[in-house]
Structure 1
């Protein structure tokens, strides 16, 4: 089949969602399906390109004129309502490509929704990678901390003002609310975790087909962990605690630092990730910070750690770093939030603790450090469980869904 993937950004702009789309696209090509990625044109990147057997098409619409007003001009995301210019360009792309399936991954879906036809044209499947169907901040976190209890216009504008400013917050919130009827213009929705699925229900029509299929990691990451040399930034000896992710409070780094100070077992803490605007105290002789490391170095670091720590304070849509740690054979101590509950099997592959609780986190880490045999068994079980998140296991589930929707469409045409 021919699949058109819609995503706001694609390589060289890269993040968790973009890595997912790239990994999936290459696997679809490997499985024999032609794949084209349609993404927003940013800067001087070419309109047409082939990358790893995947065709990439970059398009612009009216919203491109707003790029100077974005806080990050390298990521001028699609608005929460259709962009007439992008609707026109997508109509042209669909006429040229003639895909069997349009697979949306981001707010670019709002410019495809007007083109959807239930009984003719391509099947439309939407994958929800975050909480953006119901939350303009995409994180489902209410201002002041804690999970959102549900969207409402005034509440959402107030909450999102700190992230976007008052004017942009009002526009995005109004667009998301006005676009809700468009959510019916898809044959099926996929959520990457149970938490994302539950949050999306409020923004979807009743009886919408919604399936949980996780985001994926490339095959062979466990082999990378085995063969990569030991990174120079690590402490002299193996057996440290390892955190990987954005170095900010929403990832629970402040809680982890405090928990580390309260632990009975004294061993180094290694923090690998990208800096944020948060002001955190990383001082201490047994705390190592390594910024912006490539994935092979990260996997090699997991391999040599005692425990992977994922102390997120927000409702992680999934928790890919926990999967990476498990593939490297490490037990994981994580917050009992969001999609992490789909990844970590408590008592089997690791432990789940309440978020924002340094005492609980310190206690769980000390508990596992006191029992090396239990850590070893958890690491082995985690590696087995994590294989279900590899692209080789996940991509066929999506292909099966595509085929099922295509068969349903053919049945509707014959009726």
Structure 2
């Protein structure tokens, strides 16, 4: 199958852009490993980047000229998506892909523009219009979520336009891939028919994130807290919980959503730690090391006795929590966003209520006092991460979405080959039920399932 993936990750905010880029790259590589030809198209944001690059066997990355060759704020990208779409149409006019997967709402605009260009050129040329290429959409965040987030984006005309465009795009494409149950609900609120929605979580690199050497040997118990450097990430809750955790060291690994906002949030957290008298036990991971050393983050996670992710408002990515689980570290989390999909309370981690430092301190204290329980959570978490969220498994689920959009003859042949071997490596008693659910969903035409 020839697959086109369209993304503009370098133009998104700092953290979101890197995460989207990493997800697209990993999924493309996994699809290529499965025998597909994958072309990744992204807006050129660096004049020095080559027009075309082969990053791995079966994957070609195309830098598309659309606007200035420099990073552009996300809210300004829409103006250049017609140019992006025109370049895509030129590329696909003589050699179209079999399926297109657009990541982010701006990429969806580019694909929509490309389809319009192809239709118009066929009409002007007087020839027969080629069959439209099936389009799959994944959104890296929702404008509606930004509007609902406390202290988030203001309700201005730009955000309102984005929300309207996202709704129109989601309703117009052939299929939508949601990364969590929360995203499924969001797409449903947007008016997307449930039969067009498939829930496929983002994957993780289980070779990079696996039990292994730690960053250092901490003398005192260490807790690593994960999240974005925003007020809703719950870092202040963890800092407050330190008062009930004497002798425990806290390392905050905060991802920067934007440089100024991240700096302001760091200053606020440092001030709060000083006011509570725990500043000497709070440190902050170096984001520069995380960007330059691939082994830094796994080693930091392995050094923790427990990893905490306690946001009190979404959207929340489960990626960092899954990385900790894959490293064999027990996790304590709030059931917010995609995190609630990946952590089984009492099996692979502990769920706590948001904004309750007393409950959080009690849960961590109980976990630190029981090494056998910590080990059990770590083993179960690593097994769950490897069996459910490895990229090859995610790619298989996404491939099923693509194949359902191809001609019926090919689709039926694939289903006949795949159905007898469908099996989900689950959590004990869940295994048989989930296998049956998945097989029933394939026969019934339902497209909502988890990888």
Q: Report whether the alignment pairs 1:122 with 2:122.
A: no
Separation in structure 1 between the aligned mates of residue 22 and residue 280 of structure 2, nearest angstrom: 35
- 8 Å CA contact 1:8, 1:77 repeated in 2: no
Separation in structure 1 between the aligned mates of residue 353 and residue 186 of structure 2, nearest angstrom: 20
Separation in structure 2 between the aligned mates of residue 356 and residue 371 of structure 1, nearest angstrom: 24
SS at match of 2:183: helix
Q: CA deviation at 1:258?
A: 0.9
CA RMSD of aligned residues (A): 3.1
Residue equivalent to 1:147: none
Separation in structure 2 between the aligned mates of residue 384 and residue 11 of structure 1, nearest angstrom: 35
Question: Which string of whole-angstrom CA distances, capped at 9 and with x for unpartnered residues, describes residues 286-308 of structure 1?
Answer: 22222113341211122231111
- The change in CA–CA distance for 1:365 and 1:394 in structure 2 (over 3 A counts) is same
Q: CA deviation at 1:255?
A: 1.4
Q: Report whether the alignment pairs 1:280 with 2:269.
A: yes
Long gaps (5+) in structure 1: 145-158
Structure 1 segment 92-241 matched on structure 2, within 5 A: 92-107=90-105, 108-114=107-113, 115=115, 120-132=131-143, 135=144, 138-139=145-146, 141-144=148-151, 160-161=153-154, 169-177=156-164, 180-223=167-210, 225-226=211-212, 228=213, 230-231=214-215, 234=216, 236-237=218-219, 239-241=221-223
Question: Which string of whole-angstrom CA distances, capped at 9 and with x for unpartnered residues, describes residues 9-53 of structure 1?
Answer: 259985211111011111112221111111111131333222223
Long gaps (5+) in structure 2: 120-128, 257-261, 412-451
Residue equivalent to 2:398: 398
- Equivalenced residue count is 375
SS at match of 1:300: helix
Separation in structure 2 between the aligned mates of residue 80 and residue 42 of structure 1, nearest angstrom: 15
Q: How does the TM-score come out when normalised to structure 2?
A: 0.75
Q: Report whether the alignment pairs 1:59 with 2:64.
A: yes
Question: Which string of whole-angstrom CA distances, capped at 9 and with x for unpartnered residues, describes residues 86-144 of structure 1?
Answer: 23222112225421110111121022125179992322111233224xx2xx5463335
Residue equivalent to 2:51: 47
Question: Which string of whole-angstrom CA distances, capped at 9 and with x for unpartnered residues, describes residues 174-206 of structure 1?
Answer: 353256334333211110000111112122334
Residue equivalent to 2:86: 88
Separation in structure 1 between the aligned mates of residue 378 and residue 103 of structure 2, nearest angstrom: 32
Q: How does the TM-score come out when normalised to structure 1?
A: 0.81
Structure 1 segment 280-319 matched on structure 2, within 5 A: 280-281=269-270, 284-292=279-287, 293-294=289-290, 295-319=294-318
SS at match of 1:15: helix
- The change in CA–CA distance for 1:405 and 1:257 in structure 2 (over 3 A counts) is same
Separation in structure 1 between the aligned mates of residue 399 and residue 150 of structure 2, nearest angstrom: 39
Separation in structure 1 between the aligned mates of residue 168 and residue 209 of structure 2, nearest angstrom: 43
Greater helix share, structure number = 2
- 8 Å CA contact 1:9, 1:75 repeated in 2: no
SS at match of 2:9: coil
Separation in structure 1 between the aligned mates of residue 153 and residue 285 of structure 2, nearest angstrom: 31
- The change in CA–CA distance for 1:179 and 1:244 in structure 2 (over 3 A counts) is closer
